[in-house]
Amino acid sequence: GAEGEEIDVVTDVAKRKNHNYLERKRRNDLRSRFLALRDQVPGLASCPKTPKVVILSKSSEYLQSLISAERRMAAEKRQLQLRQTQLLKRIELLLEPRSLGENQA
């Protein structure tokens, strides 16, 4: 009877408190992750009240700029490696002893 209902009420209160605690913890974790993300994006770290949608859109823009820069640098690296190979071959040719026919003349 009444005793069983009291236990149910206590159990419901405990479940609600636990749910509220877990939800608060989830929101705090999400907030701290947004702040950490905001601090990684140039120009946003100094804006404490930045809305989440701005953090996400600016983060996306920043990532796209990093991807473009990485592609540009990778292409430049390939060109520089090719140039280095050409120059090393040229040095090798310049350092080779002359052929026997030229030395006898």
pLDDT in tens, 38-69: 999 999 988 989 999 999 999 999 999 999 99
Q: Is residue 102 part of a domain?
A: no
CATH code of 14's domain: 4.10.280.10
- Per the domain annotation, does 100 fall within a domain? no
pLDDT, tens digit (0-9, with 9 covering 90-100), for 1-29: 667 677 788 899 999 999 999 999 999 99
What's the number of domains the chain is made of?
A: 1
Residue 99 domain-assigned? no
Q: Is residue 24 part of a domain?
A: yes
Question: Which range marks the domain in which residue 72 is found?
Answer: 2-94
- Residue pair 34/55 in contact (Cβ under 8 Å)? The answer is yes
Is residue 105 included in any domain, yes or no?
A: no
